[in-house]
Each structure stands twice: as C-alpha cells, then as structure tokens.
Amino acid sequence: MNLAIRDIRYHRGRFILTSIGLGLLIGVVMSMGGIYRGLFADALAVLSFTKADIWVVQQNTNGPFAESSRIPEDIKYRIKAVPGVAEASPLSFQTIQIERLGKPFRFFLIGYDLNGFGGPPEILAGRTIRQKHYEMVVAKAMNMAIGEKIHLGLHDYTVVGITTKVVSSSGDPAAYVSLVDAQDIQFKKDNAAIRNDRERIAANLAGIQSLSPSQTTFLSKNIAAITESTHTVNTVVARLAPGADLKEVQERISRWNHFRPISVEEQTKILTKGMIEKARMQLGLFRIILLVISAVIISLIIYTSTIDKIKVIATLKLIGAQNRVIIGMILQQSLLMGVIAYGIGYALILLTYENFPRRIVLEAFDLQGLFVIIIAICTISSFVGIRKALKVEPAEALGG
C-alpha cells in the first residue's frame, strides 16, 4: 500500500494548492532561465541572421551594436577586392521610437543593400523589398499589417512583408528598408536645414579675401556635397570564399587606416560578454535565489507535513512498520510534489511564454537540468522530515 498516495488522496485540496504554489515558483525559475537564454538569442539575432564572417567597423570601436560606428559606404568595393572575400555588403542600423496608435512604438531599423545580403532572413507573409524606396519589411513582433504605412524621417514607408523574430540586442523588433532609405532616414536633413547650411558655408567662404569668385563657388558646392552626403553606413559585412583564411583577411583589412574587421566570434563576445553580461548575471542570481527559496519552501512543507503525522508515524512504528515504509511515505510525497509542481510550472510557461514582452527561449537542456535540480531539492528537503520521523518514538502513539 502506498501511504504517500493515500495521504495525498485524503488531503488532495491542500496538496494541489501547495503544488500550484510551488509550480508558480518553478514557473518563474523557468521563465528566468528562458529570459536568460532569450537575452543571448536576442543579442545574437542580427549577427546570426546576417550570416557574415567579418564585420568591418570604424577603427577603435566595438561597433556597430555595442558602440557607434560610421564608415563610408564605398569601402565595400575595397573590401570586396580583398583576396578571400566572396561578397561584401553595407548595413545601417538605428533604433527608432515614434508614436503609433497613441503609444510609444520602438523598433530597430536595418538598412541593407538590395543587391547584397543582410536583409530579412525569411518572409512569413507578403514579399521582400523590390523597390529602392519607401518599402519596408517588418518583424512579426511589430504587429503591423501588410499595406500599413509608417512615417519615418521625411517620407511614408509601406509595409510589404512580414519577417520572422529578428530583434536588436536590446530586444526591440527589427524592420528592414533599403540602404538608401535607411541612410536618408538617418542622415538626410530637411530642406530648411540644407538651405541654412549652404548659406553658412557661402558666408564663411565669402570672408576669405584671397579666393576668387569661381573658387568660392567651387569650394561651396564641394563642401555642401560632403556635408549633405548620406553615403555613410555603420558596418560593411563580408562573407569569405570557401577555404579563405579568416585571420589573413582580417589582417589585410586591419592594415588600412580607419577600419576594424571583427570576426563573428569576436562580435559574439562583444555582445554577450559586454552588452548583456550584467543582465545575464542578474538573472542568474535571481534564478539561484529562487531555487534557494524553493528549497526552503519545500523543506518547510515536508517538515510541517511530517510534524502533522507524528502520531501516525509513531503508530506505524508501534505496529512494527519498517523504517523504509516511513521513509518511503515522506520521500515519495516530496518527490511527487516536486514532479507535479514542475509539471504545473512547465505547463504555465508553455502556455504563456509567447506573450512575454521579451523573448523566452526554452532549451531542453535547461528544462532537464531544472528538473534534476528540483528532484534533488525535494530529495534533500525530505531528509529534514525523514530525520524527524526516524526520531519519533513508538511510545508517542500511546496516550490521548
């Protein structure tokens, strides 16, 4: 006869409520683990979807995600010419926050060369960008419909496609536009600002007595062209030809002034060790604290439940029950509670994780690991009750 099951059957209300409470706690531990993994996945999303081998950024920076990086777009031609590079493509990134439907609407805008790579990884609905201007593909998480328009910079952009879960390292959903549009949105000044700049340049040049009128006009046009140019990007990504040596390509690019070639491995390190390290540690600490709390709660439940059964245990001992009968009753109850609470926590997370504001990544290894930890906690916690139970004297069954 299984005494643990019989006790649970009799006190099922209390057992179910306790298991639900514990299940919620385990659910929180699971979600912490999911957020922890989600941070990684988010941080590396653009990196992994781009499938580049080298990220060329501004010299002495950890760009384009951890630090600001600005390099001229035309460096892509020089990078393409490096032996071992199969293709190179410029990318532009910026975080945008606008007002939409009366609420702040934040997303990560990626500009890519329509003839290059680094665009939307997958189209779930609609199509990819075909026109050079005013079209955009948005991540599913932005909750925008195809055909919907959004005003960015000086122009309206129409959603033509929905892509998968691409997010920035801070978890903002991504939207894709052509590189030209992205550069316009990021760098193009409005007409009044342009007129103002041109007049200021002309006035400054007019103050130089040694310049002839033709030189002044020439200089004025050239300076304006440079200041009004939008042909700047945050990075140029490159893919290597099969068999090419990454170190060698990096070394060649490093020799140029003003540029830093970052490998995927280095970029991963920058993103995970630098940008999300503190958040990661915080979550790790929370997980440990919650597990300790769970252990204390389970121990208390088992201990209280044992105290409630002192007379039963004494009676069992008096009628000759072996220690294994008593140990089995306590241990099985503890393990059952752990397993059921784990199941409740798992079901809860499975049903809700899609609705979390940040990405939750549930990995089998983490879930299995947590299951083993919960079972270990239940087993260790039950020792507290077992110790108490084994000390109970059969004589305690006597008397009123």
Partner 1 sequence: MHAIEVEKLTKIYGKGETAVTAIADATFQVEPGELVAILGPSGSGKTTLLTAIGLINEPTHGKVVIDGATVADEGWLPGLDLKRLRREKLGFIFQAHNLIPFLTALENVMIALEINHLTKSEAKVRATELLSSLNLGHRLNNYPSALSGGEAQRVAIARALANKPKVILADEPTAALDTENGKNVMELLKKLAVENHSAILVVTHDHRMVEGFDRIFHVNDGRIIDEKDNGYS
- Distance (Å, rounded) from C-alpha 306 to C-alpha 172? 50
Supply the minimum distance, in Å, between the C-beta of residue 323 and partner 1: 8
74, 190, 363, 393: which one contacts partner 1 (CB under 8 A)? 393
Supply the minimum distance, in Å, between the C-beta of residue 321 and partner 1: 5
In the shown chain, the binding pattern of residues 5 to 34 toward partner 1, with x for contact by CB under 8 A and - for none, equals -xx-xxx-----------------------
- Distance (Å, rounded) from C-alpha 400 to C-alpha 382? 28
In the shown chain, the binding pattern of residues 286 to 315 toward partner 1, with x for contact by CB under 8 A and - for none, equals -------------------------xx--x
Cα 4 from chain centroid? Answer: 43
State yes or no: residue 391 binds partner 1 (CB under 8 A): no
295, 321, 335, 367: which one contacts partner 1 (CB under 8 A)? 321
Supply the minimum distance, in Å, between the C-beta of residue 297 and partner 1: 22
81, 225, 319, 364: which one contacts partner 1 (CB under 8 A)? 319
Supply the minimum distance, in Å, between the C-beta of residue 330 and partner 1: 14
Cβ proximity to partner 1, 251 vs 393, nearer residue: 393
Supply the minimum distance, in Å, between the C-beta of residue 309 and partner 1: 9
- Total of residues contacting partner 1 (CB under 8 A): 25
Cβ proximity to partner 1, 340 vs 348, nearer residue: 340
Pairing of strands 123-126, 235-240: unpaired
Cβ proximity to partner 1, 7 vs 113, nearer residue: 7
> Is 91:111 a contact under the CB 8 Å cutoff?
yes
224, 310, 318, 339: which one contacts partner 1 (CB under 8 A)? 318
Two tokens, residue 251: 């070394």
Two tokens, residue 44: 């590396």
Other CB atoms closer than 10 Å to residue 248's CB: what's the count? 12
Cβ proximity to partner 1, 3 vs 138, nearer residue: 3
- Distance (Å, rounded) from C-alpha 310 to C-alpha 361? 44
Cβ proximity to partner 1, 175 vs 386, nearer residue: 386
> Is 121:285 a contact under the CB 8 Å cutoff?
no
State yes or no: residue 399 binds partner 1 (CB under 8 A): yes
State yes or no: residue 400 binds partner 1 (CB under 8 A): yes
Other CB atoms closer than 10 Å to residue 264's CB: what's the count? 18
Q: List residues near partner 1 by CB under 8 A.
A: 1, 3, 6-7, 9-11, 311-312, 315-322, 325, 393-395, 397-400
